[in-house]
Amino acid sequence: MANKKLSIDEVEALVKNVLISENGTSVLSVEPSSSGDYCSVILEGDVNLQTLRTLAKTIGDEPIIGGEDCNQINLFFRIPDADSVGNGDDDEDEQEEDRKPAIPDYMRHKDEFYDSEDVLMPGTEMNCSNTEQCEKIKAWMKETGHYPIVYVRLDDGLHVEVSDIYDRKITDLLERGEAVGGDGRKYKIENPDDLLAIGSSICVRATCVETGRNDAYDLDFFV
């Protein structure tokens, strides 16, 4: 006995549920094929790639994408069986898997700061010069109050690891203007408002009280 397929109304409801997070995107039409095994769906608006991936997981089929209208997306896929569509918990698990921090494990600091998390810095999708990137990071720090523990550029933009605990420690450090470094020596912080993005870390200039050496040090050298 053949499995019961979703009705067209159920398919439309399924697609709309996936598109909940897509503001400005609507379902224009859902039509079955002559055989009744497939359907065509026309969407209006912009849909990102991640949403299409979520839709493919939900319906269990990779949609064929077509259409020439730049503001419309035509999808064609097999109508799923009623008992093959994942429940909400499964969808949430899959989405959670997609949201796993992208910063490489060896660069993350969960052991030191349990509340650390990976954040994608807005407006950094396009690569730019080191100088421009440094300015973007400094502007983002000023706007958000976060001090990145580490940052790394990936395909989708600049990822930064942040932690409220780390932020509080760094704020205290910059306000005091002095600290003990990772080598056990005392340092005087120079120009605490002038932070630098170097390599993959945020740095500050400091002078070693014992040796007189002045250099740029990672902020986490002092915490």
- The pLDDT value recorded for residue 159 is 92
Chain segment 182-207, per-residue pLDDT in tens: 999 999 999 888 898 888 889 999 99
Alpha-carbon span 47 to 25, nearest angstrom = 7
Q: What is the pLDDT at residue 161? A: 94
- Calculate the average pLDDT of the chain: 82
In this prediction, residues 97-115 reach a mean pLDDT of 73
Phi, psi of 63, deg, nearest 5 = -65, 145
Structural domains in the chain plus CATH codes: 8-97 (3.30.980), 101-223 (no CATH)
Question: What is the spatial distance between Cα 19 and Cα 47, in angstroms, rounded to a whole number?
Answer: 8
Q: Does position 93 have pLDDT exceeding 70, yes or no?
A: no
Residue pointed to by tokens 């390599």: 199
Report pLDDT digits (tens) over 159-182. Answer: 999 999 999 999 999 999 999 999
Output the pTM of the full model. Answer: 0.54
pLDDT at 101 over 60: no
Q: Please give the residue that has the higher pLDDT: either 56 or 68.
A: 56
* Residue 10, pLDDT score: 87
pLDDT at 167: 94
Residue with tokens 């897509």: 22
Place of tokens 């608006």: 45
